[in-house]
Chain A
Amino acid sequence: MTAILSVRDLHINFGGVKAADGVDLEIFPHELVAVIGPNGSGKTTFLNLCTGYISPSQGSVTFEGQAITDLRPRQITRRGIARAFQIPQLFTGHSLIDNVMLAIAAQRGIWQPFRPLAQREYLDEARRTLGLLSLDEAADLPTATLPEGMRKLADIAIALALKPRLLLLDEPTSGVSTAEKFPLMDKIVSVLRAGKITALFVEHDMDMVERYADRVLVWDAGRVIATGAPGEILRSADVLERVIGVS
């Protein structure tokens, strides 16, 4: 099978720190891949490089067979990669449903100066998207007032509204209480499966990785040090020591 995303020999330094030090990896269609690794190992930097927020000093990123290495975030988004952030990135002046409608409009054509954003079609679709993540109750609340867990979800809802073929999730359940983590991830995963969306998620909770990931990429010091099925990776002594700090 050909990879949907393939990354070759990616390098970037921040003041001498090698945040990416020869990253090589491939993501295949319809996979759900977990990214694990200690803090500062370059996981978020990798997402920034893949989406054009920063440019690598060396190496290439290819999406669906086309090089996207030097494109800007908006160009990469238009090609079908969406992202949800570690720190939720919301339009704080707008209500939750407006946030999602903006994403829908962005996908269908933002250059409409005279039809209202709140048109029937967009409203319906935005409600559907919010419903998928059980956010319908909060639809009309200003995003600035939402609690952190809901802000994370709102961020994911915006990314889903873009109808991506590849979704990058940066710690999707980090602001959510332990009891809610599994039901929430269940919802996200069922949306991904239903939409045949390939996804990659950064995660610290090994139970989540074990339960949801098809494959795991282990990060350390700016490179992928191991990859494989969760079962074998999470039982590897070397990985456990480096990532989780137990020996």
Chain B
Amino acid sequence: MTLRHIIGLALIAAVLPLAVPWLGFVFTLAVGKGLAALGVAVLLRGGLISIGHALYFAVGAYATAFLMRNDGINEFLLLLLLSTVVATLVGLVVGVFMVRYRAIFFAMLNLAVSMVFFTLLSKMYHVTGGTDGLRVATPTLFGFAPSRVQFNSVLQYGSLILMIGAALIVDRYLRSPLGEALSAVHSNEVRLEYLGVSARRVILIAYAASAALAGLGGTVTAFAVGHIVPELSYWTISGQLVLIAVLGGIGGTPGAFIGAFFLELVRTFAVGFAADAWNVIIGIALLIVIFFLPEGLYGLLHRTGKQGSTP
């Protein structure tokens, strides 16, 4: 089911820009956000809501910029990999501290750490470029230096492959003993401990995985935009990631991407006719989905899929 839905989504995202070219950029941004939202959705499986995951989104983006500027690494795939590793490591370190907390406290501590990071990004001008941010140049591909236009196409289709890969891997993880133990943390942590399983360790792995996904999403975003700013780590972006996860639906991994595509499309159209009101539109859309579609947008697809399969 997941396989069919995610490939369907990727096909739509691959074909539409052939007719409407500027959609390619919108979709690449959507995949970036969707990867990060998938990370947030993983944590939601464990009943943990983070309003600070923009931290890892920004870590991924800034890691890419730093690696290019300071270490002279320009190879696209290597940058994707290294930035994700950096985000994962940061996630592991911060996670050791976070796994002690649950519910509101978990949410707020993530918020606090991300706000510290946001402030550092904004204030440490000599390292981070402060509020001006940093430029992310066009990377090389297996040693070749593509033009910006060529690279954008590579990024556009490459990100769709990342999307499929991430959705399938996370799907397997969530069905594995470790992933099911994560949902078990949500429903009965005491029982989980009485099975001899450390709930904290289960959460730590999920947390690191979610940081990795958010970091990867941030890197994709950095490459797509070509310029990064501290606002990537601001708490409203974190809120947006949770919004995307729930809007799309956490019942399946394609949900996060469906939510992200929906959000980016609405934003694009809203900028055209009501630039100052796009948050109102998103806010109302969110409330409508929460009130009337408890399984999110992906629930719609899932339900029709199920009905179709019943004889």
State the A residues within 8 Å of B (CB). 51, 53, 72-75, 77-78, 82-83, 89-94, 98, 101-103, 105-107, 109-118, 158, 162
A162 touches B196 (CB 8 A): yes
A113 to B190, CA, bound (A): 22
Contacts of A90 in B (CB 8 A): 187-188, 191
What CA separation (Å) do A227 and B298 show in the bound complex? 61
B178 to chain A, nearest CB (A): 5
With A74-B197, A106-B196, A113-B176 given, is the CB distance from A94 to B187 under 8 Å? Answer: yes
For residue A123, give the distance in angstroms from its CB to the closest CB of chain B: 13
Determine if B193 and A72 form an interchain contact, defined as CB atoms under 8 angstroms apart: yes
Interface band, chain B:
20 to 34
Query: CB-CB < 8 A to B202: which residues of A?
Result: 110
Q: Give min CB distance, B60 to chain A, whole Å.
A: 21
A94 vs B185: C-alpha distance when bound (angstroms): 12
B191 touches A162 (CB 8 A): no
Output the nearest chain B residue to A93 by Cβ-Cβ distance: B187
Nearest CB in chain B: distance from A59 CB, A? 22
Main secondary structure of the interface of B (DSSP, over half): helix
Neighbouring A residues of B190 by C-beta, 8 Å: 53, 73, 89
Q: Which residues of B contact A89 (CB under 8 A)?
A: 188, 190-191, 194
Complex Cα–Cα for A73 and B195 (A): 9
What are 17 A-B pairs with beta-carbon distances under 8 A? Answer: A73-B190, A73-B194, A74-B197, A77-B196, A82-B194, A89-B191, A91-B183, A101-B180, A102-B177, A106-B196, A107-B195, A109-B177, A113-B173, A114-B172, A115-B177, A116-B176, A158-B195
Chain A residues, CB < 8 A from B187? 90-94
Within 8 A of A (CB), among B172-231: 172-173, 175-181, 183-184, 186-188, 190-198, 202, 205
- Chain A residue numbers with a CB within 8 Å of B186 are 93
User: CA separation between A98 and B172, bound complex, in Å?
Assistant: 16
A92, closest chain B residue (CB): B187
Which A residues are in CB contact (< 8 Å) with B176?
112-117
Query: Please, which residues of chain B bring their CB within 8 A of the CB of A158?
Result: 191, 195
B184: which of A73, A83, A94, A118 is its contact (CB, 8 Å)? A94
CB closest residue in chain B, given A111: B178
A114 contacts B193, CB within 8 Å?
Answer: no
Question: Provided the pairs A102-B177, A116-B175 are in contact, do residues A94 and B183 lie with their beta carbons within 8 angstroms?
Answer: yes
